Structures are given as C-alpha cells and as structure tokens.
Amino acid sequence: MTIEEILKQYWNHDHFRPMQAEIIKSVLLGHDTLALLPTGGGKSICFQIPALAKEGVCIVVSPLIALMKDQVENLRAKGINAVAIVSGMGRREIDLTLDNCIYGSVKFLYLSPERLLSELVRERVKYMKVNLIAIDEAHCISQWGYDFRPPYLHIADLRELHPDVPVLALTATATAQVKQDIQDKLQFKSPVVYQQSFERRNISYVVQDAENKLKRLLDIANGVKGSGIVYVRSRKDAAEIARFYTQNGIKADFYHAGLPMDERAERQESWKNNRTRVIVATNAFGMGIDKPDVRFVIHKDMPESLEAYYQEAGRGGRDEQKAYGVLLYTHADRLRQEKMFMQSFPTVDEIKHVYHCLANYYQLAYEAGEGLSFDLDLGEFCSRFKLDAIKTLNALKFLEKDEYLSFNESVFLPSRFRFEVVNEVLYNFQIQNAGWDPFIKTLLRSYGGSFENYVKIKEYDLSRRTNLSVQQVVDGLLQLQQFGLISYMQQTDKPQVTYLKARQQSARLFINKNYIKDRKENYRLKMEAVFAYAIHKKCRSQMLLAYFDETNAHKCGICDICLEEKRSQNADEILDNITNEIVQQLSVSTPDIGTLITTINIGTEKEKMETIRLLLDAGKIKTDGEKYYL
C-alpha cells in the first residue's frame, strides 16, 4: 500500500498536513530525521504511517505516560496492534508484552525512557525485527532544552542493538543549540531536518500588567467567546480560580496531577466536549490534547521558559481561527520566580540528605534495593523528614541524572490480572471449591484472553456482576493470587521511585557539581528570556520567533504591541487631519468653539477638543475667549 492509501484506510484522510509526507518519505528512505512541527501539527502520523508501510515493529520512546496510553488505545481502536511498557508493570507482565513483540503481530512498542535502562528490555529488543525508532518530545534529550530527562540519554543504546534502523526525532520546540544536541545525542548518521516555521498567525499574544489578576481573568473570559485554559503554578490556585469563575457564572473546573486518574479523565472529557467552558490547570494538563476550538489560553503566573509558554499558548486556535495567548505579569511575579530559581538548585549536601532520607523512608539497607520500585507520597515524605518540597523534587531529578534512581512524577496503571494456570487446573479447582465457582466463571466470561496476557480489570464492574462489594472483589482476587491461580496487580496512581543502583554509602555517592552549575546557568538564561518577553515593547510574535532562531520574521500585526502601534499611528493621522480642517476653517472665518467643533468632519469630540488644545498650546491658533482665529 502507498502511504496515501494507509492514511485513507486508517485515518480516513485524503491529504497529509504540511510536511508530513516529506518526513514520512525521508524515514522510508532510511534517513535519520529530525522533525519540528508545531503543537497540533500531527507528529504521531509521521512515525505511525512509515511503520505500517514496513514489516516489523516500531519502537516509540515517550516521556508522557498518559499520551502513550492514549495513542495505544487509538491504534487498537483502528485494529492496529500496539502495546506500552511503563514504570509500575511487573516483570512477568513485561515479559509477556516483549514476547508478543518478538513472536506476535505487534506493530508499535511504546516505552518510557526509564525502561531503556532495564537489561530485560534491552536484551529482548535485540531479538525484535525493528523497522523504526521514533523519539517523541525529543528536546528532552538535550540538557539545553527546557525539559531535560536524563534517561533519554540512553536512547542511543538502541542504535547499538539495531544500527541500520533509522531514527525519527520529533518535537514542537527547539532552539538551534537544542536541534544540534538532539542530532549529536542520537548519533544521527545521515541527518535530515524538517522544520515548519514556529509562527502562529492566528494567535494574538498579549501581556497585561495586571495588579488585580482575578479581575483580568474574568474580563478575558467575558470578553472572548468560547473555550479556554488558564495555567497556574499551584494546585491550590487551580481549585480557587475555578471556584471564582463558577461563582461569577462561568462554567469552570480545575485539573492537576494530584487528582485521581478517573477524575482527571472525566474533567478533561467534560472540557473537550464543551460541558465545561474553562479548565484551570497546572502544567500537568494539555500534552496530547487535540481540542481545536480553544479561543484563549491565559498564564496567570510566569511560565518557566519561552519553550513551555509557546507550547502551552499554542494549544489555542488549532482550528486556525483567532485565539489569544495572554500572560498576566507584575513585578512581584519576577521576585517569586527568582525565589523559585534559588529553590530549584539544592546543594550537593542537600541532595545527599534527600537520598538517605528516601532510603530510610523505604527501610532500605546499604547495598540493597537495586531494580526495586516504590510509590512515593511526596507530601508525607517531606513532612516526615522536614524537607522543602521544591528542593526535594529537584534533588530527585539530580539523583536521576547521576543514575542512582529514576523518578516518575505521575504514573497511572489500571488494575490487571492473568491466569497463571492452564484451563484444566482451574477447572479442577472450581470442582473442588464450589464456593469459588461463580466468581471464577464471572472472571472467565468478563475478560477474554486472560490466559495469554494481562488484561485490564475494573473492580467496580466486577462487583456489580458478582453482587459483591468492591472490597470483597479485591479480597477475592488477592486470595486467588495466594492460591497461585492468578497474578493480580492493583491500580496505582502515585509518583514512583525506582532504584537503578543499590543504596550507596555517602562516600560512594558522587553528585556532578559541574552539571548542577550548567543547569543553573541554563535555567537563569531561560528565566531572563521570559522576563524580557514580558517587559519589552516589541512585537510578541517576533520575540518568540527570534528565540527559536527565526530572526527575520515580520511583525504579526495582532499582538498587544502591534495593535498599540496601529492605534498610535491612527491617532497621529487623525490629529493631522483634524488640524488641516481647523486651519481651513479659520482661514475663512472666526467661529466660536461650538461652531468650530460641529464643522470639523473627522474624529470624536474628545479628539477634536484635544487637537484644539494642542494647537493653542503650540501658538498655532489663538482665541479671545469667544472666537477662534489663526
């Protein structure tokens, strides 16, 4: 099949979006390719179609677990076999999934970068027939990017296992430095770079100096029709601002990573389907959400970088209709951001202290814990050991960089189970234990394929079918696991820590000081770029594009600065025209103020009076108190 036929068969589109076809053809020719497409530009198609056009499995590396799950479900809904391996899955479950990639008909294997550190995964990838390696959010591989993820550095190890397989790196934002770093870190052999302009002609970027931010938030929602997103930096703010909107007659809700997964999904759906008009969210919201008709995106607080701002504001106006990206800014925001900057870089001693507190929290002895994963309740951990939450979070990221542990801020895995015995053994158990027979029969009827693979299970659904409480269902599944009949894993929705090395003594814990220094300088430069964007009186679009190395961009004509310039130019023009009319009038008569005003055909009364005052002050016209003359 041609790539156009694949597009039609699975996506029911007749034409590719700009640059998609060129990227796909580059990959099919075996070129290592870097593709920079704006948010909503259809990046996933660029690796999904070439993978379907060739025999074998495509390995997709992505840091976004929610996005991986969405893409796997969307592909399966199209009849395409896709699987994902993320933190929190058990060894047996991973084993089965990898076997299906080697011996089954799996076309897409989605991996979190942390999983590439696992010897089990790497050993099995070696035996797969891989046709493409796709790296989503590829800017994460560069320490000069705004969202550096240390586990991404191990992606290049895949190239050693499959040296002839092309790599496709995809991202929505990258500076020239980051673009080069991506190609270097991924060991591009015959690099091809495709980049659409970062310009979004339908988005009006606005910065408002707003002492009363709540009033501004309300004014914007009342002044701009349609759906919106408000980004905030704290979960408390998200809840309070959503409540404020609702109290003022605007249907709003809030979203952050601390909400249960099903609640997050429900709120997201309600907003996507326009039952909720405004979603107030932390930056946990938005990745992979393709809602075309967002009319405004407001940042109540300073974003951490212009890359983050561009991506988040870019969730507005994907239907190419007019949208607004608004940043509310005060001098106090700068002071807060600078304080956060200081908290983001703990000392080496503070990092070591967090490391040992964590091991004590999990009761890990020295030289123990390698390969083990634990849930982390960050609030409880910080409270117990009297630690600052922001510093602790950043300490964990530096420990991740030095490969002592990996840290996932939010992992959700639904409950799942698998029968561990063959049919005959299960049947004998049912005969000998008649009390268990109805429960096991319900499991068998409800979940097909559970002898071969782990299947998702909803305890609530099972409780309705068996007339048992949810707790009785959970207890029953745990008992069947104790009997050795099933393997049962309960759902998790907590951050997770995985020890990549056994717990080290302090003397053997080496933290890279130079790396911390480099990151601090990089963070400072990004912070200063956001401040410059907020306070300089230059076209906002031009400033954003210059940041992404598009230096010759024209003025957008629709940001707050461009509109102010137009108003100023119009005011000068109106002033000149009114002046000409006044001079003509006074050259033939000496009218009173009322007559003079009514005989001028241009401008408002206010503009006419202002022009007369200016001409009097400049001595260009005169008055005796009643009449006006030259």
The reply to whether 246 and 393 lie within a common domain is no
Q: Does residue 483 fall inside a structural domain? A: yes
The reply to whether 76 and 184 lie within a common domain is yes
The reply to whether 383 and 440 lie within a common domain is no
Lowest average pLDDT, out of 70-84, 135-149, 205-219, 401-415, goes to: 401-415
Q: Are the beta carbons of 98 and 88 closer than 8 angstroms?
A: no
Lowest average pLDDT, out of 69-73, 169-173, 425-429, 506-510, goes to: 69-73
Helix and strand numbers (H, E) in the chain are: 25, 21
Q: Provide the pLDDT for residue 536.
A: 92
The reply to whether 377 and 499 lie within a common domain is yes
The reply to whether 470 and 606 lie within a common domain is no
What's the token pair of residue 217? 């938030």
Angle 389-401/331-343 helices, nearest 10 degrees?
Answer: 50
Q: Provide the pLDDT for residue 452.
A: 82
Number of structural domains the chain divides into = 5
| Confidence check: pLDDT of 257 > 80 | no
Q: Does residue 482 fall inside a structural domain? A: yes
Q: Provide the pLDDT for residue 71.
A: 87
Instruction: State how far Cα 311 lies from the chain centre.
Output: 8
The DSSP 8-state label assigned to residue 212 in this structure reads: S
| Confidence check: pLDDT of 597 > 90 | no
pLDDT digits (tens, 9 = 90+) for 326-356: 999 998 899 988 888 888 889 999 999 999 9
Q: Does residue 35 fall inside a structural domain? A: yes
Mean pLDDT computed over 129-145: 90
Q: Provide the pLDDT for residue 245.
A: 96
Average pLDDT score, the chain: 89
Q: Does residue 519 fall inside a structural domain? A: no
Assign residue 233 the CATH number of its domain. 3.40.50.300
Q: Name the 3-class secondary structure at 146.
A: coil
Q: Does residue 317 fall inside a structural domain? A: yes
Of 160 and 571, the one with more pLDDT: 160
The reply to whether 464 and 376 lie within a common domain is no
Q: Provide the pLDDT for residue 115.
A: 79
Count the alpha carbons within 13 Å of 37 in the hemisphere toward its beta carbon: 22
| Confidence check: pLDDT of 297 > 80 | yes
Residue 346 lies in domain: 339-411+495-511
Q: Provide the pLDDT for residue 493.
A: 64
- CA 422, 427, 432, 435 torsion-angle sign: positive
Mean pLDDT computed over 419-431: 91
| Confidence check: pLDDT of 83 > 80 | yes
Nearest Cα to 232, choosing from 291, 273, 278, 270? 278
The reply to whether 20 and 140 lie within a common domain is yes
The reply to whether 170 and 33 lie within a common domain is yes
Contacts of 251 (CB under 8 A, 6+ apart): 245, 275, 276, 277, 278
Q: Provide the pLDDT for residue 88.
A: 67
Give 58's strand partners.
108, 132
CB-CB neighbours of 138 under 10 Å: 30
Q: Dmax over Cα atoms in the chain, in whole Å?
A: 117
Q: Are the beta carbons of 271 and 279 closer than 8 angstroms?
A: yes
Q: Provide the pLDDT for residue 408.
A: 73
Of 325 and 572, the one with more pLDDT: 325
What's the token pair of residue 218? 């309300």
Give 15's strand partners.
none
Q: Provide the pLDDT for residue 6.
A: 93
Band (pLDDT 50/70/90 cuts) for residue 599 is: confident
Q: Does residue 606 fall inside a structural domain? A: yes
Nearest Cα to 535, choosing from 333, 307, 310, 323? 333
260 φ, ψ (degrees, to nearest 5): -60, 150
The reply to whether 155 and 84 lie within a common domain is yes
Lowest average pLDDT, out of 42-51, 372-381, 543-552, goes to: 372-381
Mean pLDDT computed over 599-616: 85
Mean pLDDT computed over 479-499: 85
The DSSP 8-state label assigned to residue 149 in this structure reads: -
Of 532 and 116, the one with more pLDDT: 532
Mean pLDDT computed over 294-304: 95
Assign residue 608 the CATH number of its domain. 1.10.10
Band (pLDDT 50/70/90 cuts) for residue 620 is: confident
Q: Does residue 38 fall inside a structural domain? A: yes
Q: Provide the pLDDT for residue 411.
A: 56
The CA distance from 52 to 515, in Å, is: 41
Q: Does residue 39 fall inside a structural domain? A: yes
The CA distance from 507 to 504, in Å, is: 8
Q: Provide the pLDDT for residue 215.
A: 93
Count the alpha carbons within 13 Å of 66 in the hemisphere toward its beta carbon: 15
The reply to whether 82 and 151 lie within a common domain is yes
The CA distance from 46 to 467, in Å, is: 47
Q: Are the beta carbons of 94 and 85 closer than 8 angstroms?
A: yes
| Confidence check: pLDDT of 465 > 80 | yes
pLDDT digits (tens, 9 = 90+) for 275-293: 999 999 988 786 667 788 9
Q: Provide the pLDDT for residue 390.
A: 84
115 φ, ψ (degrees, to nearest 5): -70, -20
Assign residue 374 the CATH number of its domain. 1.10.10.10
The CA distance from 395 to 381, in Å, is: 13
The reply to whether 31 and 123 lie within a common domain is yes
Nearest Cα to 50, choosing from 103, 84, 10? 10
What is the reported pTM?
0.74
Q: Provide the pLDDT for residue 409.
A: 64
Contacts of 329 (CB under 8 A, 6+ apart): 207, 208, 209, 210, 302, 534, 535
Band (pLDDT 50/70/90 cuts) for residue 58 is: very high
Q: Provide the pLDDT for residue 120.
A: 81
Mean pLDDT computed over 448-469: 87
Q: Provide the pLDDT for residue 410.
A: 58
Lowest average pLDDT, out of 277-291, 296-310, 366-380, goes to: 277-291
Q: State which amino acid sits at residue 158.
A: L
The reply to whether 43 and 175 lie within a common domain is yes
| Confidence check: pLDDT of 412 > 70 | no
